């Protein structure tokens, strides 16, 4: 898959992007790293004015995407950007879409390039977590009627028939209980437009300021607590359990009250990472994920 993602950008794709952006002369093409499913390139275009224009071409290059992710189509992502347009959510904006790949070489979207870059480790954890928390309420407040009609409904990623205690765990009893919980009833919850894959790697930063939420492929209509829990699982594994808890406290400060997050959602989201969490490969990260699940089970 890495080879497909890293192939040079075809001329047809560049020509479509330039035309859709309003024309001009290409001055640079830069492949953007970090994606697992799409090939993304930043294209700088000289439009003949004082300022150059930068756009991002996002292409569905994996031939198996239709079978593996049939709900997460280019057309669906374009519709998601339609919901985001005009909102207070910091995000790139959609310039053009070629959902069938008739003009570009494959299905593609053309986006504005948001300022900033991904951050591997923040300089100050407190402000970092506070900004991650503050970015969610504007998203969850987007017109619920339109969002419910436009977005696919939430569903867990895991296959219930294949759920099993991970071989690497030192908390077998906790994982057994977690799997039991996943088959139980959902707690009462509020539904809204959710990012669904909200974690630090899907945010951009400049001068310690959050500038954009990115990668809307898996946006859904579902429990807002999944956005909180998904961020918490990632923060726990990547940084610490204290970071995950502080993020929730910061969210409570944003909404104006201590926020009670039912442990069901932490458990459900942790199970999405099984059997081997992508991106969580080190022993320390797996140990923190183990502890995260054990603590969630203990809160039931």
Q: What angle do CA 250, 210, 117 make, to 5 degrees?
A: 135
pLDDT at position 56 over 80: yes
As a whole number, mean pLDDT of residues 146-162 equals 94
Quote the percentage of the chain above a pLDDT of 70. Answer: 94
Tokens of 2: 């890495």
Q: What angle do CA 106, 217, 22 make, to 5 degrees?
A: 55
Residue of higher predicted confidence among 152 and 71: 152
Q: How confident is the model at residue 296 (pLDDT cuts 50, 70, 90)?
A: very high
Q: How confident is the model at residue 7 (pLDDT cuts 50, 70, 90)?
A: confident
pLDDT at 137: 98
Q: How confident is the model at residue 67 (pLDDT cuts 50, 70, 90)?
A: low
What's this model's pTM, rounded to 2 decimal places? Answer: 0.93
- In the chain the domains, ranked by start, together with CATH numbers, are 2-112 (3.30.200), 125-298 (3.90.1200.10)
pLDDT at position 206 over 70: yes
Q: How confident is the model at residue 68 (pLDDT cuts 50, 70, 90)?
A: low
Q: How confident is the model at residue 172 (pLDDT cuts 50, 70, 90)?
A: very high
Q: How confident is the model at residue 130 (pLDDT cuts 50, 70, 90)?
A: very high
pLDDT at position 51 over 90: no
User: Which tens digit of pLDDT belongs to each residue from 236-270?
Assistant: 999 999 999 999 999 999 999 999 999 999 999 99
pLDDT at 2: 53
pLDDT at position 226 over 70: yes
As a whole number, mean pLDDT of residues 9-35 equals 91
pLDDT at 136: 98
CA separation for the pair 263, 225 (Å, rounded): 10
What Cα–Cα distance (Å) separates residue 152 from each residue in 64, 149, 251? 20, 8, 25
pLDDT at 1: 46
As a whole number, mean pLDDT of residues 271-291 equals 86
Which range (2-16, 119-133, 137-151) has the least confidence? 2-16
Q: How confident is the model at residue 5 (pLDDT cuts 50, 70, 90)?
A: low
């Amino acid at each position: 898959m890495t080879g497909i993602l890293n192939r040079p950008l075809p001329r047809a794709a560049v020509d479509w992007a330039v035309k859709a952006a309003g024309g001009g002369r290409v001055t640079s093409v830069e492949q953007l790293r970090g994606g697992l499913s799409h090939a993304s390139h930043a294209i700088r275009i000289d439009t003949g004015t004082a300022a150059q224009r930068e756009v991002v071409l996002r292409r569905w290059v994996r031939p198996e995407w239709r079978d593996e992710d049939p709900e997460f189509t280019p057309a669906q992502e374009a519709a998601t950007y339609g919901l985001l347009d005009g909102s207070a959510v910091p995000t790139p904006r959609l310039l053009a879409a070629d959902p069938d790949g008739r003009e570009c070489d494959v299905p593609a979207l053309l986006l504005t390039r948001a300022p900033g870059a991904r951050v591997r480790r923040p300089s100050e954890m407190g402000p970092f977590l506070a900004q991650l928390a503050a970015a969610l309420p504007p998203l969850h407040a987007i017109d619920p009627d339109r969002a419910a009609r436009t977005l696919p409904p939430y569903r867990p990623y895991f296959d219930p028939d294949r759920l099993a205690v991970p071989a690497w765990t030192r908390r077998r009893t906790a994982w057994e209980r977690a799997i039991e919980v996943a088959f139980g009833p959902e707690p009462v919850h509020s539904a809204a437009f959710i990012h669904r894959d909200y974690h630090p790697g899907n945010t951009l930063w400049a001068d310690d300021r959050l500038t954009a939420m990115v990668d809307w492929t898996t946006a859904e209509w579902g429990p807002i607590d999944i956005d909180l829990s998904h961020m918490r699982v990632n923060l726990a594994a990547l940084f610490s359990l204290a970071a995950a808890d502080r993020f929730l406290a910061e969210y409570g400060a944003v909404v104006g009250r201590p926020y009670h997050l039912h442990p069901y959602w932490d458990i459900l989201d942790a199970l999405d990472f099984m059997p081997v969490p992508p991106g969580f490969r080190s022993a320390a990260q797996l140990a923190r994920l183990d502890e995260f699940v054990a603590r969630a089970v203990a809160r039931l």
